[in-house]
Amino acid sequence: MIIEGYMLKYLDTIWAVKGCYHPEGFAVAVPRVYKGMKIKRMEDALKLVHQKFPFLFKYVEEIGFEVPLVPLKDCEILDPFNKIVEDEVAIEFMKYFKGNIGVTGSMLYSNSHNDMDFLSTSEENYQILLELREKGITSPLKVVNESEVEGLNEKDFLYLKENRVLEGVFKGVPYTFKIVKCEDFGIVEGKEKFEGVVKILKAEKPYSLPVKYYTDKGIYLTSFRTRYTELKERTKLYVNGILLKRNKFLDLDLDLAKEVKIL
């Protein structure tokens, strides 16, 4: 099963698979490397698809809008769990964790990298990340790459980054550790603009993707992006975005938001 963290080679472009739902024979994906240029922002990736690959866009009711659907029959699938890892620091870090640990990002599609991106489907590994931070084996990540800042302002982006264990530094090398535990969100039956303040009452799924937080407005905050993991209960956020009216719950998808502020 293809999930968030897998990558594809299609039309001389490296694509990053997004999310958990993928129609039969296709993967929802966005360009990560195009003609040697690395694309970090989702806005830029979607703009590139509109310009160079507009034929890929299709409406998917489980997602609620048009997304790029890459045909798997025409792709080389890069499986994070089949990649042979040779980097000594990465190998040492992976030994701390339980279950099958994969690598994604530049470690998956190339032989050179400046940071380490890992993928797991076991939520047990979050506790291990906490222990590694408490013991000082890892340290907080205190640097923001301007090309990554999107949705949040730089101040909030850095504050959250410094206070999560899913990102950090090990042996001088920055890491990101994605834990993916898929959930059926149902289908989108309608949507409307949303602008206002919400307070997290219950962090139901704060560290595995997609994250899910129940708020005081009776709606859920969701996201597949690491930047919105590990949010604490009682946190207040200003959100300017889109409310997806799913048949299972009301979904304020932070990945679609124009702006998110920590209050």
Q: What is the pLDDT of residues 159-203, one digit of tens each?
A: 888 999 999 999 999 999 999 999 999 999 999 999 999 999 999
Model confidence band, residue 157 (pLDDT cutoffs 50, 70, 90)? confident
Assess contact for 104 and 85: CB atoms under 8 A. no
Mean pLDDT of all residues in 214-239: 97
- Domain 88-179 CATH assignment equals 3.30.460: yes
Alpha-carbon span 70 to 11, nearest angstrom: 10
pLDDT value, residue 149? 63
pTM (two decimals):
0.93
Closest CA to 19 of 238, 256, 261, 257: 256
Mean pLDDT of all residues in 132-160: 83
pLDDT value, residue 91? 96
pLDDT value, residue 40? 86
pLDDT tens digit string along 87-138?
A: 999 999 999 999 999 999 999 999 888 899 999 999 999 999 999 999 999 9
- Percent above pLDDT 70 for the chain: 98
- Percent above pLDDT 90 for the chain: 88
Alpha-carbon span 221 to 198, nearest angstrom: 9
Range 188-262: architecture per CATH:
Beta Barrel (2.40)
Alpha-carbon span 129 to 123, nearest angstrom: 10
**β-bridge partners, 67:** 58
Alpha-carbon span 37 to 48, nearest angstrom: 11
The residue to which tokens 């806005």 are assigned? 43
pLDDT at 235 over 80: yes
pLDDT at 148 over 80: no
| CATH 2.40.50.140 domain position(s) in the chain | 188-262
pLDDT at 146 over 70: no
Alpha-carbon span 159 to 156, nearest angstrom: 5
Mean pLDDT of all residues in 69-88: 96
Q: Which two tokens stand for residue 102?
A: 């994969």
Closest CA to 1 of 98, 57, 80, 84: 80
pLDDT value, residue 152? 79
Closest CA to 212 of 181, 247, 175, 256: 181
| CATH 3.30.460 domain position(s) in the chain | 88-179
pLDDT value, residue 142? 86
Alpha-carbon span 203 to 214, nearest angstrom: 6
pLDDT at 50 over 70: yes
Mean pLDDT for the chain overall: 94
pLDDT at 147 over 90: no
